[in-house]
Structure 1
Amino acid sequence: MSFTAACIQTTATPDLGHDIAVLSRLIREAAAEGASFVATPEYCAGLDTKDGKLFPVAHPESEHPALPALRGLASELRIWLLVGSIGVRSPDGRIFNRSYMLSPEGTIPARYDKIHLFDIDLGGGHSYRESATIAPGDKGVIAPCVEGTIGLSICYDIRFPMLYRAYAKAGAQMLAAPAAFTRVTGMAHWHVLQRARAIENGAYVISPSQGGTLSGGAECYGHSLIVDPWGQILAEAGDAPGVILAEIDISKVAETRRRIPSLTHDRPFSLGKP
């Protein structure tokens, strides 16, 4: 009931070939360290930024160069591989911020399109409009993953706890939140949000993030995390590209949910006047 999970931390560029090469090297490193599940960040292959807008290198799924490369790696290394996200162009021209779960056979058992888009104004010149270039998804997805199941999400989704509670109530023992968190919001909120989602749901939270300065000047916080169901940080990256690993013991999910069975304690309520 236990296995080793890894988060890959990178700094994406507009050069898709460069990013695929970096991902391949780090994924191989993680597998060599014993990881049977490896997760990469949001927009892990091909990303440019300008004036607070995100411009992923986008292709139709059937033509995206990153997918066959990463599917081949999953198959060769016999690992479960979560592609945190890449830009995928739909037939109508829209771009989706899409995660893929890849099996050890190189198949795609699950896809997830980011539901909540990062449209925020922090002041001081920190303004972002993901919806200017990206279309939202509308479906939560629970994917198979080594032992147990994992609820898929991406970055800004982490601020919407109802998504993760729905996953946990549906039986997911792990939650994935690959990200490209900004440095400003990351310094303020990254750790507490990851730990809160773990504690609320009695689930492992696995969150690979981009770190460093992207093309166009946007700064990502890094600090990829693996958090256990009790909210303890098992592994954390710094600012630079690299790999973190932690042991995932699925039996601890059931144990934690028995100790604090809050998933069974929801009660209906109404908002009344004081």
Structure 2
Amino acid sequence: MSNKLTLALLQLPVGNDVAINVRRAADSIRQLKVDNSQLQLAILPESFNAPYGQDHFPKFAEKVPEGPTCQALSQLASDLGIYIIGGSIVEREGDQLYNTCTVWAPDGTLIGKHRKIHLFTMNIEPANAGGVAFDEAAVLTAGSELTVVQIGQQKVGIGICHDKRFEELARIYRNMGCTMLVYPSAFCICQGPMHWELLQRARATDNQLFVVTCSPARDNMSGYVAYGHSMVVNPWAQVQREAGEGCEFIVEEIDFDIVEQVRRQIPIFKQRRTEVYAKARVDL
């Protein structure tokens, strides 16, 4: 049985019309499947259906899975017989809003719903002279559940953007048997050059697995400018594929045998000294 998976990253532009954004994503995935019959998984960016921003979140929020974006992704997954990691949308539940990633099986079933655990807050000074300030927590509610989905033979851990800064989350996913982590990410351009690749390679080398991120295409005229550079990092912490800044699609074959090879050759998981760490009794 093959231990390989063909996936697509869709680094898409995001405008102000949800219907157009969702249609563009669906049409692009359909064409990628036509061009690549072996395609098994499509991954969309964070906030792929509407602009990312504190002012936009309440306006574009939808119910999950009843909303139109979820219904479109469910139908698309069923029509094409593929898995879809639906980037993220703003989910409305009662009077609370969440940044939520949905995962769809080839029969259109919702198999995962990840609410962003670590809400993005930054204040890069000086904010009034070229710095940047942003606070998701002013509008959104943090999720409190980990999300592991079965895609083919592999366990895949799901995070959203800022979640990848937290090594504890990635470690738990690895301990749960994950061989790939996927982070839809509208990573800010002000942090991108410093930390985008660094964080993904760090999570990959710490846990000896694949790390995959999918960003919106960069729009320098938008209020929030995403970095782009959607990326696949392998368990050796090497960048296997990387997009540029604009609208771009990556189709890549992932060989999960590499996970076992790396873990066998550098057996850090077996070498962990948890009894020593426990003596420190540090509040993690």
* Range of TM-score over shorter length: over 0.9
Whole-Å Cα distance in 1 between the matches of residues 202 and 237 of structure 2?
7
Whole-Å Cα distance in 2 between the matches of residues 263 and 130 of structure 1?
34
SS of 2:191's partner is: helix
**TM, length-normalised to structure 2:** 0.90
Among 155, 163, 170, which residue is 2:169 paired with? 163
Residue aligning to 1:57 = 60
SS of 1:180's partner is: coil
Whole-Å Cα distance in 2 between the matches of residues 113 and 188 of structure 1?
26
Q: 209-218 or 157-166, which moves further after superposition?
A: 209-218
Q: Report sequence identity in percent.
A: 32
User: Does residue 92 of structure 2 align to residue 105 of structure 1?
Assistant: no
Among 18, 42, 67, which residue is 1:38 paired with? 42
Residue aligning to 2:88 = 85
Output one character per residue of 1:155-200: Cα deviation in whole Å (capped at 9) or x when no partner.
0011101101110111001100110001111111101111111111
Specify which structure has the higher proportion of strand: 1
Aligned CA distance change for structure 1 residues 121 and 4 (closer, same or farther; 3 Å): same
Whole-Å Cα distance in 1 between the matches of residues 213 and 204 of structure 2?
11
Whole-Å Cα distance in 2 between the matches of residues 146 and 56 of structure 1?
36
Output one character per residue of 1:35-71: Cα deviation in whole Å (capped at 9) or x when no partner.
21111111111225368x8556101224411011111
Q: Does structure 1 retain, via aligned residues, the 8 Å contact 2:155–2:179?
A: yes
SS of 2:236's partner is: coil
SS of 1:177's partner is: strand
Q: Does structure 2 retain, via aligned residues, the 8 Å contact 1:12–1:214?
A: no
**TM, length-normalised to structure 1:** 0.93
Residue aligning to 2:203 = 197
Q: Does structure 1 retain, via aligned residues, the 8 Å contact 2:54–2:136?
A: no
Q: Which residue type is aligned with residue 27 of structure 1?
A: I
Aligned CA distance change for structure 1 residues 4 and 42 (closer, same or farther; 3 Å): same
Whole-Å Cα distance in 1 between the matches of residues 197 and 109 of structure 2?
33
User: Does residue 240 of structure 2 align to residue 238 of structure 1?
Assistant: no
Residue aligning to 1:25 = 27
Unmatched segments (≥5 aa) in structure 1? none
Q: Does structure 2 retain, via aligned residues, the 8 Å contact 1:150–1:172?
A: yes
Residue aligning to 1:187 = 193
Q: C-alpha root-mean-square deviation of aligned residues, in Å?
A: 1.9
Among 2, 5, 12, which residue is 2:4 paired with? 2
Q: Does structure 2 retain, via aligned residues, the 8 Å contact 1:54–1:129?
A: no
Whole-Å Cα distance in 1 between the matches of residues 48 and 272 of structure 2?
37
**Cα deviation, residue 29, structure 1:** 2.9
Structure scoring higher RCO (CA < 8 A, sep ≥ 6) equals: 1
Divergent runs of 4+, >4 A: 53-56
**Cα deviation, residue 222, structure 1:** 0.4
Aligned CA distance change for structure 1 residues 65 and 58 (closer, same or farther; 3 Å): same
Q: Does structure 2 retain, via aligned residues, the 8 Å contact 1:49–1:214?
A: no
Aligned CA distance change for structure 1 residues 48 and 209 (closer, same or farther; 3 Å): closer
